[in-house]
Every structure is written in C-alpha cells, then in structure tokens.
Copies of this chain bind each other. A is one copy, B any other.
Amino acid sequence: MNCPDPIQITDQRTPRGPTPKKSVGSTIADLLQMSGVPVGSSDIAARVPVSFRKVHAGESLAHEGAPADAIFFVCAGTFKVFRTDKDGYEQVLAFAIRSEVLGFDALCMATYPVAISALEESAVYVVPKCDIPRLCEALPAFGLMLQHAGSLTLARSRELVDIMAAVASEVRLARFLIQHSRRMEDCGQSPRRFLLRMGRREISSLLGVAHETVSRSFTTLSTLGLVHVCAREVEILDMDGLGTFARSTRRQLDAPVPARARTPVHRLPAQGRHAHSLSLAA
C-alpha cells in the first residue's frame, strides 16, 4: 500500500457561495445563502451581522460537558464530533463539512453532549443560543433554515447507523466512502477523488472497528479494484461496483425467508471485476 506517486487532487470545483476570508462583515444573509435557503434577497437578513470565527487544526469548538452557549455553521474545513469515555477511548460520532450545523443537539440541554474539534484549518459562523429566539422571530427564514440543518444532521446520523449495521468491515468502509463521496459532491468538490482529512484511527472509531481492520479493509477494496488508496488520498475507480459492494447486507439473518432459498454467501465473492489497482500502487 505504499504509493510512490501520490494522486494529484486538483479538480476541486469552487464551492457554491462566497467564503468570507475576513472576520468582520458576515451577515445572516451569507449564512442563509450558504445553507442553500433561497432567501428573498435584499432582506433585513443582509443587515444582521453574524460572528465569524476561524478555527485552527486541532482546535476545539466545544468540549463535552461544557456550557453550551452557541451553535455553529461550518463555513470551511472539516470537523470531528466525538465523545470521550472515562477510560479515554474516543468515539467519533460524525465528521462535518461546509454548511453543516454543529451543536444542534445542544439546543435541548445546557451543556454540549459532544466535543467538536477541527481536523484542518477551518471556519464557522457562530450563533449564540440566546439569540436564536429573537432571530427566529425577526427572520422566519432563519428558523426554517435551522430546522432544515438539524433535520439534515439527524438524517446523516442515521446514515451512520447504516454504516455500523453492516457486518463486514469492508462493507462498512465502502459505505463510509460512498457517503463521504456524496457529501463532497454536495460541497461542490469531486466525488471521485478526495483527501480524507481524518486518520485511520478516527475512521475506525466511526466505523466501530479496530484501526488495523480499517487498514486491511482499504487494502481489500483496493485489491478488488474498487478504489485506489494512497495514504489519505482516495480515488474511487468503480463507483457502481463500490455501491453494489456497500449494499451487501448482514446475512438475511431472520428476515422472512420464503423457502430454502438461502444464499450461502457471507461476504460477496466480489464478482471479480478488474482486480488491479494494487499493481498501480506497488
């Protein structure tokens, strides 16, 4: 799995909406636009300021159990949402990229139930919790956008359950890659080639397997010719094949199986498609 010739990830299209580079001048209108809500332009939204904050790689936005005074909207970069056990094990719950809301689950409690930290140089819009009622009243579009963002986060959280529901570790990884691919596409970046901002360990935590298993699963997917992996750079070679592979489910288990029609396959025989890609990397 060593790659003498790293992939060049250059075809990143420009994300929709402007990405403010300055700490001042951001308004709710910017936030609404980023979130994809068709805000009736020339609104008062353009006159309500929102604080904008840069977050350095490794820096924390929220600590588990700390008083929750604000929610955030990712403007740029990547964040990791996680919980830490008493024994120090770090359970990753989600990765968040542009336009996602962070801290939505803290709206119903006084403290953050999760920790949030940046995986790279990032930036967020900050909305103090105490401002939310006023904002919702003054700008109905904001309230609806917040609902939409929270709804999306919930839907994605359930996709994570889909990942962890898979038995085979390679299937989990395949599902993760497909979801990640889709989200990259939603952000205007290439769905086929991207750079993972998180390490194997963090992926393994999200997937619910040991980090060594993630390594091996990457190797397997690569051997099957579905992806090309080089450290944290990923290229999906066969999107359809990866999708089919990701759809392998837990052996029907006890699903209402009509007759003796049980397939004795446990893990897909991988229907031997072009099984190179290792030849590329070795």
Contact = CB atoms under 8 A, between A and B. Distances in A.
Interface stretch (A143-151, A176-184, A187-195, A224-232): A143-151
A4 interface: no
Interface stretch (A11-19, A101-109, A215-223): A101-109
Nearest to A109: B155
A87 interface: yes
A144 B136 contact: yes
A114 B155 CA distance: 9
Contact of A150 (B104, B137, B256): B104
A190 to B, nearest CB: 24
Interface residues of A, number: 56
Interface of A: 83, 85-91, 93, 104-109, 113-114, 132-133, 136-137, 140, 143-144, 146-155, 157-158, 160-162, 164-165, 201, 204-205, 208, 210-211, 247, 249-250, 252-257
26 contacts: A83-B158, A83-B162, A85-B247, A88-B257, A89-B249, A89-B252, A89-B253, A93-B161, A104-B151, A105-B151, A105-B154, A106-B151, A108-B151, A108-B152, A109-B151, A113-B155, A114-B158, A133-B140, A136-B140, A137-B140, A143-B143, A150-B150, A150-B151, A157-B157, A164-B208, A211-B254
